[in-house]
Amino acid sequence: MAMKIGGRSFDKRAEQGVRDSYMRETVRTAQERLYTNKSQAEEELGDWEEWRSLSEKIRSHTVDNLDYYLERLSENVSKNGGHVYFAQTAAEANRYIQSIAERKEAKKVMKAKSMVTEEISMNEALEATGVEVIESDLGEYILQIDDHDPPSHIVAPALHKNKEQIKDTFSRRKGYQKTSKPEELTQFVRKKLRREFLEADIGITGCNFAVAESGSVALVTNEGNARLVTTIPKTHIAVMGMERVVPTWEELDILVSMLCRSAVGQKLTSYVTGLTGPKAQEDVDGPEEFHLVIVDNGRSNILGTPFQSALHCIRCAACINVCPVYRHIGGHAYGSIYPGPIGAVLSPLLEGYEDHQDLPYASSLCAACTDACPVKIPLHELLVEHRKVIAQEKKTTLGETFAMKGFGLVASSPRLFEMAAKTAPALLAPFTNKETIEKGPGPLKEWTAIRDFPGPKKERFRDWVKERNKGGAE
């Protein structure tokens, strides 16, 4: 179970999140900053809605023709002298990567940030064979030295930590002695990592997009670490989810712009790198060997289902950055390395309902996510779609199933509705305290623990209408 993080039930994890006031403050501030920046970036571009529609079209066209574009991609990577490996499962991907490490007698692997390698637990797989894996993304590095704390956000993996906590981790683990100023913290890590880069045998990166027409891999970062990972070590392995392909550089241009604006509110991040195959003879730097590992790991099962649009995701985290549920419980509460709305959609698809069945319910269906998504994935609708599957497979409680059956019956029969509406106030009457109900029975208990419930009224609206039509009331 590679994507799953943390034990216990969703409720327990959510409660823990709610009680963690440091984390919540950090998340709230980050969300507010990212929201403002994204809004500005949208405005700068102008016609944001049109760009979204265009991006949606690009993504749906590509995913509709995924086999075609993956074939082109693979042909072109090979033409450039690179190797392509299609891994159906996480285990297959890891075995392939292990075999390269073995062949190269690698002792040290330098990594850039990648969610798919988290998904397949690649670090653990490599470490099990005695290879040292070092994260070079600042956020990932912080988590790695903090006893492999799992990521809580797909763009900013250490979002749940504030600078004081980071400083403490550094001093505890690495003998850091300076202040919690971000510049000083970063400087410290830079120095530490420089040496590691020079010693690394293999560089492993993710892949924001792969360009089918040229067999190139595009990496979008703000720290520039991916450039070192892909130029210094002799071997470069890029690992990508099979849906992360674009037809040509033209589409790449549009999607990178949407990604940067949506993820961090920048026109472009500091570094956008396009890599086409291993080092050619005339190149001054670059790896001698290049491998592209294309990971399925459950993705192809999503094709052709009502969930297909989840594969359009470009992992910008905009949906996470606006999600109120995420704001209050934090990323770890989701129990998956993919948190927030997209995580709640994706985790059950990739890893099954068993471990992730609560996630589709962790939403008020406010649709802020759907609104924020640069490729227009109808996230809140997909959450409802999950609930539908869960209800159909009778994984919900019997009580709920009966209640909803009852609901269907009542809502489609005016006579039953009339009866229910009449009895509701009568049933509630004993709990009333004048205008409102402060302590309700049954399911009302959850409600009234937090809020008062409106008290029963003497007359329903429809009774008033009836009287009025008779010429009685006014």
Partner 1 sequence: MKVSLFITCLTDIFYPDVGKNVVELLERHGCEVDFPEKQTCCGQPAFNSGYHKDAKKAAKHMIETFEHAEKVVTPSGSCAAMFKEYPSLLKDEIRWRERAEQLAGKTYELTQFLYRVLHVTNTGATLQGVATYHTSCHMVRLLGETEAPYVLLSNVQGLELKELPNKQNCCGFGGTFAVKMSTISEQMVDEKVEHIEETEADVLIGADNGCLMNIGGRIQKEKKPIKVMHIAEVLNHREMGGGDV
Site residues (vs ligand SF4, CB under 6 A): 262, 313-319, 342, 372-375, 377, 379
The secondary structure element, H or E, covering residue 201 is: none
Binding mask 449-468 for partner 1 (x = CB under 8 A): xxxxxx-xx-xxxxxxxx--
**Coil vs helix vs strand at 471:** coil
Q: Output the smallest distance, CB 260 to ligand SF4, in A.
A: 12
User: What type of residue sits at position 381?
Assistant: E
Question: Binding of partner 1 at residue 436 (CB under 8 A)?
Answer: yes
d(CA 92, CA 82): 19
Binding mask 7-46 for partner 1 (x = CB under 8 A): ----x--xx--x----------------------------
The correct pick among 46, 399, 408, 471 for binding partner 1 (CB under 8 A) is: 408
The correct pick among 104, 367, 431, 432 for binding partner 1 (CB under 8 A) is: 367
Task: Give the range of 149-157, 164-172, 206-214, 419-427 binding partner 1 by CB under 8 A.
Answer: 419-427
The secondary structure element, H or E, covering residue 108 is: strand 108-111
The correct pick among 46, 430, 443, 472 for binding partner 1 (CB under 8 A) is: 443
List the structure tokens of 177: 């002695």
Q: From the list partner 1, ligand SF4, none, which binds 313 (C-beta under 5 to 8 Å, kind-based)?
A: ligand SF4
Q: Which is nearer to ligand SF4, 193 or 314 (CB)?
A: 314
> 312: which DSSP letter?
G
The correct pick among 7, 414, 471, 472 for binding partner 1 (CB under 8 A) is: 414
Q: Which is nearer to ligand SF4, 93 or 322 (CB)?
A: 322
Q: From the list partner 1, ligand SF4, none, which binds 181 (C-beta under 5 to 8 Å, kind-based)?
A: none
Q: Tell me the HSE value of 426 on the side-chain side, using a 13 A CA sphere.
A: 6
Token pair 């760009």 in the structure block, residue: 51
Token pair 């210094």 in the structure block, residue: 232
Q: From the list ligand SF4, partner 1, none, which binds 314 (C-beta under 5 to 8 Å, kind-based)?
A: ligand SF4
Question: Binding of partner 1 at residue 66 (CB under 8 A)?
Answer: no
Residue 260 marked as a ligand binder: no
Q: How far apart are the first and last CA of the chain?
A: 65
- What is the strand order of the sheet 436-437 is part of? 432-433, 436-437, 453-454
**Coil vs helix vs strand at 220:** strand
Q: Which is nearer to ligand SF4, 106 or 316 (CB)?
A: 316
d(CA 190, CA 183): 10
Q: Which is nearer to ligand SF4, 106 or 318 (CB)?
A: 318
d(CA 59, CA 61): 5
d(CA 101, CA 103): 5
Q: From the list partner 1, ligand SF4, none, which binds 412 (C-beta under 5 to 8 Å, kind-based)?
A: partner 1
Q: Pick the closest to residue 131 from 199, 198, 70 (CA basis).
A: 199
- The answer to whether 117 and 238 are in contact (CB under 8 A) is no
Token pair 């990212």 in the structure block, residue: 34
Distance of CA 424 to the CA centre of its chain: 42
Q: Output the smallest distance, CB 263 to ligand SF4, in A.
A: 8
d(CA 21, CA 320): 19
Question: Binding of partner 1 at residue 371 (CB under 8 A)?
Answer: yes
Binding-site sequence positions for [4Fe-4S] cluster? 313, 316, 319, 323, 366, 369, 373
Residues lying near partner 1 in the complex (CB under 8 A) are found at: 11, 14-15, 18, 322, 324-325, 328-329, 361-368, 370-371, 384-392, 396, 400-401, 404-405, 407-414, 417, 421, 424-425, 436, 438, 443, 446-447, 449-454, 456-457, 459-466
Binding-site sequence positions? 313, 316, 319, 323, 366, 369, 373
